[in-house]
Amino acid sequence: MKRFSGWLLASPGTLFLVAILVVPVLLTLLATLTGPDGPLAPYLAFFSSGYRRRVVWRTLQVAGITTLISLVIGFLAAYAVSRCPPWLKSALVVAAVFPLLTGVVVRSFAWLIILGKNGILNDTLLRLGLLERPLSLLYTQGSVIAAMVYLFVPLMILTMVGVFEQIPDDVVQASASLGATPLSTFFGVTLPLAVPGLIVGAVLVFTGSFTAYATPQLLGGEQQMMMGTLMYQQAMVRFDWTAASTIAAIMLVITLLAVLLMTRLARRLNPAAV
């Protein structure tokens, strides 16, 4: 009886999660497989369109570049924070968390003010005499990536600070005592032990940026259509729920493949840590 008591206690919560998470996903997938033209017809129709293939590629590009930039910035920032005194570390962590207290839409609107033709960046460059006319910075892939990095770097910093704090000081000191330089210790000890955190942070950033809607819609518009905005357009503008379900299924598959690839990469870089 004791063996099954844990399962009995967890069953209400498990059933609730299955009802609100798993069942809707299965119904979405089922809607794409039960059409009158056959189970693969919606997917063939999707990938037969050159425009939609470009949307998929653009979304992968934005998500990949955002993930790489966030990894570099978050890793370096978290490493610097972890080396600070406790009182300063707390202040810096609070500063990193502070942007998360503001909604995504508000933070995206802030980039509209910064990157607009009459925005802060153009105005500053014009005042300094570096430009003769304002640049068109909005509704470009660069503007979407910049806003995405700003949105997701705090998550990367929080993830990596916890990882660095778990690395024993004795291991780092042992490496130094054996004659390793600080650079060798960093690449030979600190970086391999931080691989699991890097993978977790990369998964969070990639999935968040790949499925984002508000930021690409506000800063990319129709010119920089991404999967999230395309799915919204199909569901809420054209009321084509089969097409929207197909896009959702494709996004789910790509996200799962990305997670599997990152996990395999982590095992290759540090088999003992994953």
Q: What is the 3-state secondary structure (H, E, C) of 150-215?
A: HHHHHHHHHHHHHHHHHCCHHHHHHHHHCCCCHHHHHHHHHHHHCHHHHHHHHHHHHHHHHCCCHH
Task: State the sign of the Cα–Cα–Cα–Cα dihedral 68, 81, 156, 146.
Answer: negative
- Interacting residues of 142 by C-beta distance below 8 A, sequence separation 6+: none
pTM of the predicted model as reported, rounded to 2 decimal places: 0.85
Instruction: pLDDT tens for the chain, 274 residues: list them.
Output: 556 666 777 777 788 888 888 888 788 778 777 777 777 788 888 888 889 999 999 999 999 999 999 999 999 898 888 888 888 888 888 888 888 888 888 888 888 888 888 888 888 888 887 777 888 888 888 899 999 999 999 989 988 888 888 877 777 777 777 777 777 777 777 777 888 888 888 888 999 899 888 889 888 888 888 998 999 888 888 888 888 888 988 998 898 898 888 888 777 766 554 4
- CATH assignment of 53-172+179-187+197-267, among 3.60.15.10, 2.60.120.10, 2.40.40.20, 1.10.3720.10: 1.10.3720.10
Q: What is the DSSP string of 59-99?
A: HHHHHHHHHHHHHHHHHHHHHHHHTS-HHHHHHHHHHHHGG
